[in-house]
Amino acid sequence: MKKVFVTRQIAEEALQILMQNAKVTVHSGDLPPEKNEIIEQVKDAQGLVTLLTDQIDAEIINHGKQLIVISNVAVGYDNIDVETATRRGIYVTNTPGVLDDATADLAFTLLLAVARRIPEADSFVRTGQWKGWDPNLLLGSDLKDKTLGIIGLGRIGSEIAKRAKCFKMKIIYYQPQRDPEKEKSVGAKYASLKELLSKSDFISLHVPLTSETKDLIGKKELNQMKKTAYLINTSRGPVVDEQALYQALVEGKIRGAALDVFDQEPISADNPLLKLKNVVLTPHIGSATLETRTRMAVLAAQNTVKALNNETPPHLINPKVLEYKKNPNSK
Ligand code: NAP
């Protein structure tokens, strides 16, 4: 029987699917497995089900001599050395589509929270500072008629556009490939990155982390934003130069930020962002609803089983692997 190693406890429904098709070992514990544990487990495994916290590098992949599939329970796959996996003829899969609403909900929640200063207001009440109604207390920003700039109008970006429409916002977007059909369906206008940065009142990031998107928002880009603008990041931490963002927030180059993702996760206790009032912080919970996480786990299990049964899994990240499978010597 084939073996699958699952790096964290995932939804029971998903484990059942795996167990009907393979011998399943699940890492127990509240923290991700150490690299050594993954290496040990992967040595005789055909399937590896991973979470975004697992850095699946060449060393791990090369220990998986029998590996057929690496199935990430996430849409992003920047935690996996896809190139090495492809060269080794290993399928790599992800879970697109099933988390769009939950992630867009969180992004929009963050947008509202920073615009209306919800964490500050909550702490104000809890700490007994509320002495009386004040017409100037905790004034935030309207959303109506404000411009939302979406960077990456993909699956999640489109969902946030739909939410923004209901809040009567104007929507512009930037991405390398213009998408006229999507523009029409969600009512967004295309803009260059420079134009988007200078025109938006809110900017929300929905790009994958790649060599092109690393530090996409740095000092230069933050300087091009309105002083009254807010930045929302639910994509991946390294898409934003965190130090430049901190400086921009302290120097009033932008008004606020809301972040679900960080350079280092979890962030260290001395991260200066923790001291700023104009920042809302959440611990990478974009897709964290019971229903969504279950759907993601089930999809990852289905991807795994397909691959173990020698079929091409539906959510294949590396279609090039098919060439390597046909001809293992091709480069
Ligand atoms: P998607 O459908 O593939 O959309 C990605 C979008 O990014 C596309 O519109 C793409 O445009 C654009 N893009 C790519 N490179 C770009 C660049 N250099 N500059 C500007 N735009 C660029 O992906 P998705 O499913 O919406 O997911 C997006 C990302 O969200 C994931 O990769 C993941 O990292 C993150 N995410 C985070 C959480 C969380 O918990 N916080 C949850 C889910 C997902 P083109 O079509 O022109 O390439």
Model confidence pLDDT, tens digit, residues 43-63: 999 999 999 999 999 999 999
**Ligand 1 mean position to 17 CA, how many Å?**
29
pLDDT reported for residue 328: 72
Which residue in 241, 281, 244, 275 sits closest to 261, CA to CA?
281
Q: What CATH superfamily is the domain 3-96+290-330?
A: NAD(P)-binding Rossmann-like Domain (3.40.50.720)
Which secondary-structure segment (H or E) carries 165? helix 155-166
CATH 3.40.50.720: which residues of the chain? 3-96+290-330, 100-281
**Ligand 1 mean position to 199 CA, how many Å?**
21
pLDDT for 203 beyond 80:
yes
Options 3.40.50.620, 3.40.50.720, 3.30.1540.20, 3.30.70.100; CATH of 100-281: 3.40.50.720
pLDDT for 222 beyond 90:
yes
What does 239-293 look like in DSSP terms, one character per residue?
GB-HHHHHHHHHTTSSSEEEES--SSSSPPTT-GGGG-TTEEE--S-TT-SHHHH
Contact 43, 21 (CB under 8 A): no
Candidate from 52, 207, 281, 285 with most ligand 1 atoms within 8 A of CB, to mutate: 207
236 assigned to active site:
yes
As a whole number, mean pLDDT of residues 142-150 equals 98
As a whole number, mean pLDDT of residues 254-269 equals 98
Buried b (16+ CB within 10 A) or exposed e, 223-238: ebbbeebbbbbbbbbb
Which residue in 73, 3, 78, 67 sits closest to 301, CA to CA?
73
pTM check: above 0.95 = yes
Candidate from 73, 95, 108, 156 with most ligand 1 atoms within 8 A of CB, to mutate: 156
The amino acid at 149? G
pLDDT for 331 beyond 60:
no
pLDDT reported for residue 330: 58
With a 6 A CB cut-off, is 176 part of the ligand 1 pocket? yes
**Integer Cα distance of 79 and 54 in angstroms:** 6
Model confidence at 187, in pLDDT bands (50, 70, 90)? very high
Kindly report, residue by residue over 76-101, the tens digit of the pLDDT. 999 999 999 999 999 999 999 999 99
With a 6 A CB cut-off, is 311 part of the ligand 1 pocket? no
Contact 273, 259 (CB under 8 A): yes
With a 6 A CB cut-off, is 233 part of the ligand 1 pocket? no
Strands 189-190 and 170-174, how do they pair? parallel
As a whole number, mean pLDDT of residues 320-325 equals 94
pLDDT reported for residue 17: 98
pLDDT for 278 beyond 90:
yes
Task: Give the mean pLDDT of the chain.
Answer: 97
pLDDT for 140 beyond 80:
yes
**Integer Cα distance of 221 and 198 in angstroms:** 9
As a whole number, mean pLDDT of residues 209-217 equals 98
